Amino acid sequence: MTTLHLDAEALYADLLARVRPLLVADSVLVGIWSGGAWLAERLQRDLGLAGKPGVISSALHRDDFGSRGMSATSDATALPFEIDGRHILLIDDVLYTGRTTRAVINELFDFGRPASVKLAVLVDRGGRELPIEPAVSAARVVLPPTQKLALTRDADGRFDFAIESAGSAA
């Protein structure tokens, strides 16, 4: 059995370089709770962008809301800027089925009508169930559906990955 090891810090450096050209006037970063929010926070700083990035939760718009119920992330959405007319760069750690991204886009439109929405992810693991593709991804990996790839962050803000048994698809 092969062990997968991803260097999250090296992937972050690649993501940083690939996100820079996506930024246009009126661009704002919005991180998907929680790993995407960590990435957006660090990208905001490393790109030298003013203000704070937005954070958005998928909890209220998930198609599995009935089985998952309310979670601690349902109040995680915090958008410290107007959405109308802005170019939104959604940031996520791992893209899998596309269902979280769909839910987040629905949540985003509850706050206004952006000029555009692009998606940047650290890792694309394939397995899409919806027609959602990132504008950029730092890596593409394949994992069995029984495994979940999760971004972790230590006390110093450095990123790493954990591979866990999946309870449900994100």
Global pTM? 0.90
Q: What share of the chain is helix, strand, coil (3-state, %, to 5)?
A: 30, 30, 45
77-96 pLDDT, tens digit per residue, is: 999 999 999 999 999 999 99
Strands 27-32 and 54-56, bridge-based pairing: parallel
pLDDT tier, 61 (very low <50, low <70, confident <90, very high otherwise): confident
Query: What amino acid occupies position 27?
Result: S
Kindly report whether the peptide bond that precedes residue 34 is cis, defined as omega within 30 degrees of 0: yes
Q: Is the pLDDT of residue 140 over 70?
A: yes
Buried b (16+ CB within 10 A) or exposed e, 66-89: eeeeeeebeebbebebebeebbbb
Q: Catalogue all structural domains in the chain, each as residue range(s) with its CATH number.
A: 8-66+74-143 (3.40.50.2020)
Angle at 104 between CA 71 and CA 64, to 5 degrees: 50
154 and 160 Cβ atoms separated by less than 8 Å: yes
